[in-house]
Structure 1
Amino acid sequence: MLRDEQLRVFWMSRIDYEKNTGVRSHFHDDLYQFLYLIDGEGTIHINDETYELLPKHAYFISKRYKHRFYFTRPSSTIDLKFDMISNDLENLLKADCFPVPYFMGDSPKLKELFKLSVMNLKNSSPIIPYRIDVGFKDILLAMIQENSFTQDTSPRSMYSLKSEFHPDFPVIDYLLENLQSSITLEDIAKHFNFHPHYIIDLFRKKFDTTPMKLLQELRIEKSKEYLEFSNYTVTEIAELVGLSAPYFSRLFHSKEGISPTEYREQARTVVGKHILLEEDFSPSLKKQPEISKDIL
């Protein structure tokens, strides 16, 4: 199987925890762990240090570090176990450790890796694990680089949602920043002091579509993220993307072929599943420590 020569992700899972549950103290002898909290709160103990578990934050756990965590309200996580094959990469990570917790924001890149792992679970491909290795390595390196000049730059510049889309096209920034609002072509034209026809021509040349159709696509993509990675109701999600609930449901069905509720049910069939990315991954490491209500 094709794998990256510097870093390999062996295991990934999206795990939801109930209130007052967690994982007992344990350690991994030859694996690193990366825990990202989608939503929720609690505490995590790493060696002798205790940290708050905060939404949109990541927690890096080194090999042989004892750790346990406990959630004080319903919480959702993305959990990875990986190893660094390259000594140079491992030394770089040790030399430039990022703070715990580490704010990642919505982290579309990490969520995309989880989607890839689910895709590989359903339809295995030799290229997908390699893409996950490379993608996660890119996330770690970006975090290390950002931490090296945090004091000189504004935080989260590398992980803001709008920078993930066409940074050379500010109209996209405007659309992303106003997904929750009811905006029209005239609003866009007025904001940028252009004629509406000029805005339409720009979008046709760059994206082969109209501004309002692209706005619909952005709203649907954002709603899919909410359906996959949040506990908002369908009505709440509709409001978050600037649509009425009935129209949102019709639009979503027309684009995806299923209702928002059906999409969420499909996405959650993999919640709690251990997604292995290498067949000979040691059986002793496959098992996630049991969730417990009595870990304090």
Structure 2
Amino acid sequence: MKLSYRTIIQNYFHRFQADISIAAFSAPKSGLAMEQDSEFYRLWFIKEGEGILTQDGRDYATKPGQLLLLPPGKQSFVAGHKRPNGVYWCHFRASIGDMEMFDLLNLPLIVYPNEQVYVRTQFERLIDVYRSSLITRELRLRSALFELMAVYLEYGRISEDSLRQVEPLEKIDRVLEYIEENLSGPIGVEELAKLAYLHPNYFISYFKNIVGYAPTQYVNMRRVERAKQLLESPSCNISEVAEMVGMQNHYLSRMFKQQTGVTPSRYRQIYMGKNQGRP
């Protein structure tokens, strides 16, 4: 996947928030028909049994081992007759910025992960924590949900072709490519706005909504990331690294420490194995 797309998606995941409303295990009776119109995302894991899920006028056959992410809206489900049915499930609200994750990434409805025992264990953990009164309940709920979402997304195979069809990403792609190619020199908001064919004032909020950071903040982050790569090579001294990422020495040191908690020289020591026994 292109660096620009990968950067956008990773930043979206970095900001991903979810509020779980319910988690449970259900055993629908054979032939039972259910219809829901919900404002929540729904995550299902089919433990046993088969059925027919109808979403947006299309029928999907559900089978044991499938992990499903259902977007908000109307769905109907008819449990099969041949085998007992069992479904782990949860409802949650989730949005990233002003764009819903499911719509943005054009994700599949159903995936079939290899980690069957792991997925079942995470769902059982999610259900147990949901029923608990632990003071850390919300943290543990999100931890279990994020593990399940990570499995779903890894098997969902986010398509670069589908990302190209999203107009906001296409505009920002040009901007991010320009930033990557020009990290060693000055980069102004006005020139970035021209690449997206937007007024600079509007461009700043547009960029932040999609990428998750203001343009200047993002450029500084990418410069620090590039500096990390260069510091991992013994052939560059810190002054050369600063020049190659378009910063003066003192500014690089300040930005680097803000983002990592260590100075460039300390980072190099750690990476080169000269840890000297202190964190």
Q: TM-score, normalised by structure 1?
A: 0.43
Answer with 1 or 2: which has the greater Rg: 2
TM-score, scaled relative to structure 2 = 0.45
